[in-house]
Structure 1
Amino acid sequence: MRELTLVHNAGDEPLPGIHHERPGSALGARPHLVVHPTPQATGSLALVRDTMRALGKDPRALPAGTPGELWRLARAWMRAHGVRHVIVDRAHLLADEQIRALAEVECDLTLIWSNSQAPRIPSLERDRDLRVQNAYTFAVTLGGALRQGAAPPTPPPTVDVPDLPLVDFPRFRAACRDRLGRAAFARVDEIYQATLARTLDWEQGARGGDFTVALTAYLRDDLIGALVDPHLALLRLRAAQAALLRTGWLLRWNTTRLGPDPAAALRGHLDLTRTHRLYRHYRTDHVAATALALHLDQDPRFFDTITCQDVTPAGQLQWQHPPTIPVHPTRYSIRRRRHPPLPEPRRDRYGTEYEELTGTVRLPAHIRLFMAAHLAHRHHQGALDIDPFFVLRPPRLRQLPRRPQPRPRAAHRSPRALPRPVRGPPLDALHPLPGRRWQDTPPGRVDAPARTVPVPPSRSPGMKGWALQERMAQCGVTVREVADLLGVHPHQLDHDSLRGLPELSARVLIDLARRLDLHPADLLPDLEPLLAHHRQDAGHEPQAPAAAADARVVLAALAHAGTPVHTYTLCQALDWPHPRLKAALDHLQAHPDAAGAWAVRRTGAHTYVLGTRMDLLTADQRSALEKAAGRVIPIGAEEAGVLAALLGFGPPPRGADSDAGARGLAEAGLATGTAEGGFAVDPDVRFSLFPEHSPSAGEEAEGGH
């Protein structure tokens, strides 16, 4: 039986942990919850707001609902936080119904009575053990625990090293040894060896099932998914690739999808700042769906298959229903039950393929908090185990506004006698004047609304969707990345024929052409005659010598860096104020010829990299150069098979695969020799794939260590 404690603080003296409460994290465990009532607010909604404020949430972000529904929501968050003891300061400000509502919570309750009058306790529906204390006894018994405050959440792991080399995994450890100092390499090598041994142990236990699904879950839930440090994510991924090659698996990443800086795209999206914002300002179901979608990298439209029995009270996601293959598989698909309680949701044609989820999905701690809170809220709503975890509500139809219309000619029929059209505005929209009933409206004839003539599309086909996708792949960007930079939805750049391009603004078209090194007429051929007409000769444009000189300095800095650089880093390295750097970047964007054969590209928010221009060479010329230059990174399946055979990890491939793999290893510099005399693996490859391999004295002298 829960206890009810009355603390009579007649003089309203400061109590430890109450009036001097130590601020703690809203995302951590909160065994004690201190509620400060709002003076002169005796309603049930005021108690809900005070409780949510004590939990660290914004009371203004409460969803619409009755006070009873909102109080059940507050109790759900208390249950998710593990609140065992509720302490109410100045409880004499509470009304009887508020005290009864607090007494219904399944936890201990302490009421601090800060009035000189004797405490009063209303009749409670549930019996509780009543105790009475004074302020000194409360400070001695419970004040120490409250003074410590809530435990802060464990920060995500990071690695304090400079930029890691962007080389393939067969040479990654050796490249780190050559590039980093002794102390930095020691920290990197410790994490590398631990991750490699951990992956080898995991691979031994993952045999016997669908290895692709198991590997996806391992990388997402245990190794990389919860990381926010891109360097640590890249380091763990390279170690996992090396370990998987030793067991006969080749793990590669898609550089076209991840962009020119894949390491920055590997980290998770939910850092502490974003998690606090989600927790504080948004609804429970929206927060749970958003956090789960970011962790699984899945569209939340497919979350209708999750039931309450699939979520544990601790917030873990564990499948209990019989798995079936979904109708529209997505990237991380959730298996659909055989008899879903909800109708099939509407799907559009912009979905991507997802892998299937099986077993238990180990979620990070902050996501488990959101899932546990929403599960408790669904249980308070009366949901059963077979009921859906996320409730899908149909969208509300917008009613047509009442617009004033010209008075029609008189007729012998009233609007009451007019039949309601099958498709068209409702009867209320047919009123001649707003705010008047049909009984007060004189009889009239209702004319049919004028038909809207659509604007005919351009006859010029423009650039096809596959051509735009090919150009994005050549520039190393994705559809979503370009859409984020342009401020449009990704589906506006993913049509088969890009018929929606004429509907975009001129600024978006210009930025898209600059981003992909295209002429605007390649996107919209109708612009060719307009762009050919110049109002002023280009030779008379005013030139800014200072901006041109700064632009050359920025080009040299980006070329020296060799990787994407943030504007803040450029300002610090060049010792420039931000307006000066912005003027130089604007000059490079406005004058692409100033960089010659190079182009400054934006890879993220305020992040730039120097690359080659794509509009100077034709597609055939680029293809010929790529074939002549060979392929350096990443290695393919043929090269991986030959490399594994040379290192003793597996049998050598046969036929054409063996010859192609040997040539690829020789071109990439991972092996030396000929087919007749045999191949020898490069020492850097052995050093990277075998952490137990100790470098020789010559290698240490060559690496500067």
Structure 2
Amino acid sequence: MVSNPDDDVAVTHYLATIHDLDQGRIVVSPRVPGSPRSSLAAARHRLGADMLAALGKEPLTGSIAKAPALALALAWMRGERVGDLVVDRAHALPEELLRELAALTQDAHIRLWLVWIGAPPPRLRLSAGKPVKITAKQLRDALPVIPAPAQQPRPPAWPALPITDFPVFMEVCRARIADADFARVAEVFDLARAAAARFAADYGIGVRIGTPQLNLLRTEAWLRDEMLTADHHPAQLLVTLRAAQVGLFHHNLLLRWRPNRLPHPAEAHLGTQLTDAVIRRLRRLCAPAEAAALALRLHLAADLNALQIRHLSPDGATVTQMAPEYDRVAVVEHRFPRTAQGILSAHLAHRLESGAGEDAPLFPRVPPHPDHETLRIRFGLPMLDTIPAATADPTATTPWLAQRGLSLHRLEPYRLTDKYRNSDQ
């Protein structure tokens, strides 16, 4: 409990500077009730709405407006890994609500700081334990202002690259771009080609080790989570893909790409749609289920009805998918960008708080998929649905690969016999 008897302006300014969700610090300024007879339920909902606003969420509207705002806020705080919750002007809140908030934050392993205007009442007792009284200066020592990180220099621009197929891609690049740019392209190409060769060798995909479905899921996860990552420039994605095609081809695998099935420029749509810009918009959504469902759809193109709670890791970092491997079942892990993990973790926390078990569906009611206009206007995304599932070959592609015009085919190696090797034909 932080004593601020004179409502010092310097303390107010300090609290504004330490509010930083990325650092796990949230400062909430509860609204004063309009009537002293305001009920505890109204005060609880109002505090939850204020906490959601501090978390950067949109206002409670529509079907989510009647949801328990405090429970939603605590779920988001768990997911976003909030470590410190500072409540300014806590004296305006009912004592019973303060006790409830203390118990909830203790269960979530969140430190609660109550900034009190005037002398704290001596008989205030919280169910989580006796509050420790400190001064504003002690609060500054406990929660110092964290300086903003230094701005990183922008990387050099990528040149315009040809979209020619992988057998001649590097030769065409050599002929069309400057030597310095080609050296950069060659460095990325060589690293990606070596990574593709290691991937094919580790899993034996080119020699029929593993079922076709398992090999496809492993290839999808490898391409999306390791090779075609969201932080790469579209030109770098193109170089990486062409190098992966070469590396896999030497292991009897043809990774085919049909760029004409993607919006222009095709290379800009190779990676995940769950980019940092989209994640920032998703983190503004108030309903964890809505945000998590769209994050899963954009990143995995997965069937949400098949997902159970046990498939999602507690920290929201991975989703596991089962695939048959002859006489057993293999597990394929799909990784999520670090900044998106809090979205999935928040939805998981909300589901577990509702009493759901590990075998329960991750979504009891799957939110509807946004339409084309919503994706375009609200999230700046095109709808990558150019290949109908009915026409996609399930032995050569997955929904995620098919959306990007990608398919994987095993090539049958042939060896020339001495008869034909020595002939003149």
Q: Same fold (TM over 0.5)?
A: yes
Please tell me whether residue 79 in structure 1 is matched to residue 78 in structure 2.
yes
User: Which residues of 2 match residues 394-413 of structure 1 at below 5 A?
Assistant: none
Change in CA separation of 1:112 and 1:154 when aligned onto 2, cut-off 3 Å:
farther
Please tell me whether residue 7 in structure 1 is matched to residue 2 in structure 2.
yes
Q: Is the 8 A contact 1:16 1:139 kept in 2?
A: no
Q: What TM-score results when the alignment is normalised by the length of structure 2?
A: 0.74
Render the CA deviation track for 1:584-614: whole Å, top value 9, x for unaligned.
Answer: xxxxxxxxxxxxxxxxxxxxxxxxxxxxxxx
Change in CA separation of 1:119 and 1:159 when aligned onto 2, cut-off 3 Å:
farther
Q: Is the 8 A contact 1:288 1:374 kept in 2?
A: yes
The CA deviation at 1:52 is 0.8
Change in CA separation of 1:259 and 1:133 when aligned onto 2, cut-off 3 Å:
closer
Instruction: Report the 3-state secondary structure (helix = DSSP H, G, I; strand = E; otherwise coil) of the residue aligned with 1:103.
Output: helix
Can you give the 5+ residue segments of structure 2 that lack an aligned partner in the other structure?
377-382, 389-405
Give 1:183's match in structure 2, choosing from 162, 165, 180.
Answer: 180
Q: Which residue pairs with 2:30 in the alignment?
A: 37
Change in CA separation of 1:94 and 1:275 when aligned onto 2, cut-off 3 Å:
same
Q: Is the 8 A contact 2:192 2:240 kept in 1?
A: yes
Q: Which residue pairs with 1:170 in the alignment?
A: 167
Please tell me whether residue 247 in structure 1 is matched to residue 251 in structure 2.
yes
Give 1:212's match in structure 2, choosing from 190, 213, 216.
Answer: 216
The CA deviation at 1:219 is 1.1
User: Which residues of 2 match residues 10-409 of structure 1 at below 5 A?
Assistant: 10-13=5-8, 14-15=10-11, 18-21=14-17, 24=20, 28=22, 30-40=23-33, 43-61=43-61, 63-64=63-64, 69-104=68-103, 105-106=105-106, 107-115=110-118, 117-119=119-121, 122-124=124-126, 126-142=127-143, 144=144, 146-148=145-147, 160-207=157-204, 208-210=209-211, 211-224=215-228, 226-227=230-231, 229-258=233-262, 261-298=265-302, 302-319=303-320, 358-392=331-365
Change in CA separation of 1:271 and 1:316 when aligned onto 2, cut-off 3 Å:
closer
Change in CA separation of 1:275 and 1:8 when aligned onto 2, cut-off 3 Å:
same
CA distance in 1, matches of 2:48, 2:330: 37
Q: What TM-score results when the alignment is normalised by the length of structure 1?
A: 0.47
Q: Is the 8 A contact 1:39 1:93 kept in 2?
A: yes
Q: Is the 8 A contact 1:229 1:267 kept in 2?
A: no
Q: Is the 8 A contact 2:125 2:131 kept in 1?
A: no
CA distance in 1, matches of 2:286, 2:24: 23
User: Which residues of 2 match residues 528-539 of structure 1 at below 5 A?
Assistant: none
CA distance in 2, matches of 1:65, 1:386: 29
Render the CA deviation track for 1:116-162: whole Å, top value 9, x for unaligned.
Answer: x44456433x33253211122222332x2x4447x79999x987212
Q: Is the 8 A contact 2:59 2:286 kept in 1?
A: no
CA distance in 2, matches of 1:389, 1:198: 34
CA distance in 2, matches of 1:92, 1:232: 55
Change in CA separation of 1:379 and 1:173 when aligned onto 2, cut-off 3 Å:
same
One-letter code of the match for 2:141? V
CA distance in 2, matches of 1:10, 1:103: 22
Q: Is the 8 A contact 1:36 1:50 kept in 2?
A: yes
One-letter code of the match for 2:225? D
Change in CA separation of 1:273 and 1:121 when aligned onto 2, cut-off 3 Å:
farther
Q: Which residue pairs with 2:397 in the alignment?
A: none
Render the CA deviation track for 1:59-98: whole Å, top value 9, x for unaligned.
Answer: 335853656x332221111111112221112222222233
Give the superposed CA RMSD: 4.0
Render the CA deviation track for 1:447-484: whole Å, top value 9, x for unaligned.
Answer: xxxxxxxxxxxxxxxxxxxxxxxxxxxxxxxxx99xx9
Q: Is the 8 A contact 1:191 1:236 kept in 2?
A: yes
Change in CA separation of 1:266 and 1:323 when aligned onto 2, cut-off 3 Å:
closer
One-letter code of the match for 2:139? F
Change in CA separation of 1:182 and 1:133 when aligned onto 2, cut-off 3 Å:
same
Q: Is the 8 A contact 2:86 2:115 kept in 1?
A: yes
CA distance in 2, matches of 1:490, 1:278: 18
Render the CA deviation track for 1:260-280: whole Å, top value 9, x for unaligned.
Answer: 643233133233332222221
Render the CA deviation track for 1:284-334: whole Å, top value 9, x for unaligned.
Answer: 111111111111124xxx3122111111111134448x7689xxxxxxxxx
One-letter code of the match for 2:31? T
Q: Is the 8 A contact 1:22 1:147 kept in 2?
A: yes
The CA deviation at 1:167 is 1.2
Q: Is the 8 A contact 2:230 2:271 kept in 1?
A: yes
Change in CA separation of 1:11 and 1:201 when aligned onto 2, cut-off 3 Å:
same
CA distance in 2, matches of 1:54, 1:241: 47
Change in CA separation of 1:314 and 1:33 when aligned onto 2, cut-off 3 Å:
same
The CA deviation at 1:382 is 0.8
The CA deviation at 1:51 is 0.7
CA distance in 1, matches of 2:193, 2:59: 47
Change in CA separation of 1:154 and 1:304 when aligned onto 2, cut-off 3 Å:
farther
Instruction: Report the 3-state secondary structure (helix = DSSP H, G, I; strand = E; otherwise coil) of the residue aligned with 1:368.
Output: helix
CA distance in 2, matches of 1:652, 1:324: 32
Render the CA deviation track for 1:544-597: whole Å, top value 9, x for unaligned.
Answer: xxxxxxxxxxxxxxxxxxxxxxxxxxxxxxxxxxxxxxxxxxxxxxxxxxxxxx
CA distance in 2, matches of 1:74, 1:260: 40
Instruction: Report the 3-state secondary structure (helix = DSSP H, G, I; strand = E; otherwise coil) of the residue aligned with 1:281.
Output: coil
Change in CA separation of 1:100 and 1:382 when aligned onto 2, cut-off 3 Å:
same
Render the CA deviation track for 1:32-61: whole Å, top value 9, x for unaligned.
Answer: 221121233661111011111111112335
Q: Is the 8 A contact 2:310 2:358 kept in 1?
A: yes
User: Which residues of 2 match residues 252-651 of structure 1 at below 5 A?
Assistant: 252-258=256-262, 261-298=265-302, 302-319=303-320, 358-392=331-365, 651=414
One-letter code of the match for 1:204? A
CA distance in 1, matches of 2:293, 2:78: 19
Instruction: Report the 3-state secondary structure (helix = DSSP H, G, I; strand = E; otherwise coil) of the residue aligned with 1:209.
Output: coil
The CA deviation at 1:20 is 3.8
One-letter code of the match for 1:111? L
Can you give the 5+ residue segments of structure 1 that lack an aligned partner in the other structure?
1-5, 326-355, 396-479, 495-633, 642-649, 659-674, 678-705
One-letter code of the match for 1:160? A
Q: Which residue pairs with 1:411 in the alignment?
A: none
Instruction: Report the 3-state secondary structure (helix = DSSP H, G, I; strand = E; otherwise coil) of the residue aligned with 1:240.
Output: helix
CA distance in 2, matches of 1:83, 1:267: 30
One-letter code of the match for 1:44? R
Change in CA separation of 1:238 and 1:127 when aligned onto 2, cut-off 3 Å:
same
